[in-house]
Amino acid sequence: GAGVSQSPSNKVTEKGKDVELRCDPISGHTALYWYRQSLGQGLEFLIYFQGNSAPDKSGLPSDRFSAERTGGSVSTLTIQRTQQEDSAVYLCASRLPGPQGGQPQHFGDGTRLSIL
């Protein structure tokens, strides 16, 4: 597709369940980012992939959060044993190869996650 694609667009689940969010980046974009945005707040960095490896996982808030990327393309963000404070919009972004700051990130529409 032309842009970053995320699915599902909305997810409502019960506290304690596991959820998996998917991101399909723009073709040719080797760098991929996950962010979290709570209502009315700025972007909170979660994890950055370069190809299939994650050189920066510093933003993952707890060990309930994990992410993987296979084939240098699609990435999944998994949240285990969800808590109500996990409710937020999860945004994925990708960019062309190169060092940080050389190319802008392009965002998907996000997954709105609601934990009941």
Query: Using an 8 Å Cβ cutoff, are 13 and 111 in contact?
Result: no
Residue of 90, 65, 92, 58 lying closest to 79 (CA atoms): 65
Write the CB contacts of 72 (distance below 8 Å, at least 6 apart in sequence): 30, 51, 52
Give the nearer residue to other proteins in terms of CB position, either 27 or 39: 39
- Binding mask 47-86 toward other proteins (x if CB under 8 A, else -) reads -x-------x------------------------------
Q: 19 phi and psi, to 5 degrees?
A: -130, 150
Contact window for other proteins (CB under 8 A) among 17-25, 63-71, 73-81, 98-106: 98-106
What is the binding site for other proteins (CB under 8 A)?
Answer: 4, 33, 41-43, 45, 48, 56, 91, 99-102, 104-110
